[in-house]
Amino acid sequence: MTDPRHEIKWLWKEPFVRVFPEQDHAYEVEARRQMPVLVLCNHCANSPCTRVCPTQATWRRSDGVVAMDAHRCIGCRYCMTACPFGARSFNWEKPQAASGASNYPARTAGVVEKCNFCVERLDAGQRPLCVETCHARGTRALTFGNLEDAESPLRQLLATRQVLRRHPALGTEPSVFYLV
């Protein structure tokens, strides 16, 4: 395990109270506060990270994925500073084969790292690895799809269930929804 200060995070767990601090109150039970919640890049429609990048090394693709060109990134870390979700990491040292995916692109030290919904898999017609793994294990907790398509299973879920998004008041328009 590397120095926790240098940890690269794509998808990880945080206590509910840290993910949705607006939902907390003085009488909240501790168990619910500490309930683990998955966090990842929100692939915001109005993303501050892509706005601040001085080289367009990170940008929003036409399909809505906030992608990252590790070969163009100059490593200024302005995007990490601008992200209100703490979703971005930096390769402080030479990166290890931490993704577990053999086809995951190799990185150099000195560039920013983030969840990109496995764009190389999306482009090959596959689902992101996290969704794939989740479904392979029989848990259907994660749903991935096209938000713009009103007929998609994703939109059906949004139509029938109440959802939360992280820090909606900031106006970044996260594309990650949490079913309550």
Binding site for another protein (CB under 8 A): 3, 5-7, 9, 14, 18-19, 21, 39, 48, 51-57, 72-78, 80-86, 89-94, 108-112, 170-172
Place of tokens 């971005």: 88
116 or 172: CB nearest another protein: 172
83 or 129: CB nearest another protein: 83
Handedness of CA 120, 122, 127, 128 (dihedral sign): positive
Nearest approach in angstroms of CB 170 to another protein is: 4
Three-state secondary-structure class, residue 12: strand
Q: Is 76 exposed, middle or buried (0-12, 13-18, 19+ CB in 10 A)?
A: middle
Nearest approach in angstroms of CB 69 to another protein is: 10
24 or 123: CB nearest another protein: 24
Nearest approach in angstroms of CB 101 to another protein is: 22
112 or 176: CB nearest another protein: 112
